[in-house]
Amino acid sequence: MTMDRTISNFIRALRNADVRVSTAETLDALGAVELVGYRDKAYLKRSLATVLPKTVDEKDTFDACFDQFFDFQDVRGEHSDSDLKGDESEEQDGEDGESGDGEGGGSSGEEPKGKKKKSKSKAKKNNLYEEEEEADLGPGEITDPKSALGQLLMSNDRVELSMAMAAAGEATNVREIKIFTQKGLYSRRIMDAMGLADLNREIGDLRTSAQVPARRLGQQLKARRDFLREQTRDYVEKQFLLNADVTGKRLREELLRKIKLSNVEHRNFRLIQEIVYKMAKKLSALHSRRKKIFKRGALNVPRTLRHNMSYDGAIFDLHWKSVKVDRPKVFAICDVSGSVANYARFMLMFLYSLDEVMPKVRSFAFSSDLAEVTELFNRNKIEDAIAKTLRDYGGGSTDYGQALLDFKKNCLDDVDNRTTIIILGDARNNHGEAHAEVLKEIYDRSKRVIWLNPEAKLAWNTGDSEMRKYGAYSHQVEECNSLMHLERVVGNLLKQIA
């Protein structure tokens, strides 16, 4: 039962870290754990690595997560065991040195031992927590602890201890930890839940006890309590990393989807890019299926008859007319002047991330003069191409009229009734000539003209905005200023061209 809890907690941590784990896979993991057991950590890791993460990226995340989670969470591996043993033997050494009563004699010579003793006693003076009697107790008989936690600590059973801690963590809802200032609080609560109060009382009693074995136990318990405290802090730290940090990332992603793209700070570009790819992938998956359905067309009667002649005219072998869908075209015309540059950046990123399902995209950039940048995108990586486009064509004052005239001159002939034209811009023409009649011409020839305006609807048609004129010659006019809008627009676009 508790074993299952460990795994399900681990899976929760994995999910937090963006590894998708289904219920079926959780069951598989439990099956694997049953086979493999917790004893050999590397073996457990290898086993779970085949069951839970299903891509190479996920495997990396899994590795990191596993190391973090099982490092202390379930100190079943050798690592922590040996740690503890190391601690203990050190402790023993220290006591031998301090007591210096020949008990630990053996290999080490007299002189170094004397030196050791000296330095130790010096150190002792500075240490407020060390107490006199510590030195007097050699190893030997000790009494049994009474409190539950004491027994647990003395039993040296790492598995039990860590499970108790996990249970206490569960009881105190440590998974709800959200901000780092809560760490101390949760450590304290967990220790309390494990029975710290009883233990403290017992240690107090034992220390003042008259019997040496009891005092010895008190000493041991105290050392172990400190160890436990440290472990608890580690545990909480890990819970914090596993639970809070990622929710933070998710929150940030959620925010970034809705935020106005012009407000995105430069340091978040990477994250946005990730989101864009993720969204694009989702859309691709959705629409690549739709495309395939058209593969099989109507029955090709003559061909079928001809091929079935050898079967005495019985029709067995059917032949289909395959429908060849003409690849529609998408022209993206982007205003890359200062005010709209950021939107253009993300829209282009989006369009080009969709190359799997998106028909051929030709893109144009303008601030006053219009230029085709398709080649640039074909030759370079998306990010580089965008950067170059913005550098070369951005920055001027916008002139929509001129841009439309340029477009007409250069490629109106390529526009036909399968062409979808997306224009991204705020339609602020600096009071220049709008040349809406050019847009009308494009409108008449193309399948669709979609105008995406990053400004809020309220601001349209105010000041030098020519939205009303242009809007009249667009099939669709949309406000588009966040990733969410972009996703919706591109999704619709794919639906229409499929």
Helix (H) or strand (E) holding 244: none
Contact positions toward other proteins, by CB under 8 A?
A: 20, 22, 24-25, 28, 31-32, 35-36, 42-43, 46-47, 49-51, 53-56, 59, 281, 285, 288-289, 292, 311-312, 314, 316-317
Shortest CB 33 distance to other proteins, Å: 11
Cα 158 from Cα 347, distance rounded (Å) = 54
CA-nearest of 27, 26, 71 to 45 is 71
- Nearer to other proteins by Cβ, of 21 and 142: the residue is 21
Cα 460 from Cα 465, distance rounded (Å) = 6
Shortest CB 316 distance to other proteins, Å: 5
Give exposure, 244-274, as e/b (b: 16+ Cβ within 10 Å).
bebeeeeeebeebbebebeebeeebeeebbe
- Nearer to other proteins by Cβ, of 118 and 296: the residue is 296
Shortest CB 347 distance to other proteins, Å: 24
DSSP-derived secondary structure letter, 55? S
Shortest CB 67 distance to other proteins, Å: 16
- Nearer to other proteins by Cβ, of 36 and 84: the residue is 36
Shortest CB 288 distance to other proteins, Å: 7
Shortest CB 32 distance to other proteins, Å: 6
- Nearer to other proteins by Cβ, of 291 and 440: the residue is 291
Beta strand pairing status for 329-335 and 476-479? unpaired
Shortest CB 25 distance to other proteins, Å: 6
Cα 461 from Cα 84, distance rounded (Å) = 73
- Nearer to other proteins by Cβ, of 294 and 311: the residue is 311
Cα 331 from Cα 423, distance rounded (Å) = 8
Which tokens hold the place of 438? 């050019």
Cα 379 from Cα 285, distance rounded (Å) = 25
- Nearer to other proteins by Cβ, of 53 and 401: the residue is 53
Shortest CB 380 distance to other proteins, Å: 17
> Do residues 234 and 72 make contact, with C-beta atoms less than 8 angstroms apart?
yes
Cα 207 from Cα 202, distance rounded (Å) = 8
What is the Cα Rg of the chain in Å? Answer: 36
What is the full DSSP assignment across 311-376? GTT---S--EEEP-PPPPEEEEEEE-STTTHHHHHHHHHHHHHTTTTS--EEEEEESSSEEE-HHH
- Nearer to other proteins by Cβ, of 122 and 281: the residue is 281
Work out the burial of residue 194: count CB atoms within 10 Å of its CB; fewer than 13 is exposed, 13-18 middle, 19 or more buried: buried
Q: In the chain, how many H helices and how many E strands?
A: 22, 8
Give exposure, 135-157, as e/b (b: 16+ Cβ within 10 Å).
bebeeeebeebebebbebbeeee
**174 to 123, 170, 345: CA distances (angstroms):** 37, 6, 42
Shortest CB 281 distance to other proteins, Å: 8
- Nearer to other proteins by Cβ, of 30 and 212: the residue is 30
- Nearer to other proteins by Cβ, of 47 and 367: the residue is 47
Shortest CB 37 distance to other proteins, Å: 12
- Nearer to other proteins by Cβ, of 41 and 469: the residue is 41
Strand boundaries in 367-488, DSSP class E: 370-372, 419-424, 448-453, 476-479
- Nearer to other proteins by Cβ, of 31 and 86: the residue is 31
Shortest CB 42 distance to other proteins, Å: 8
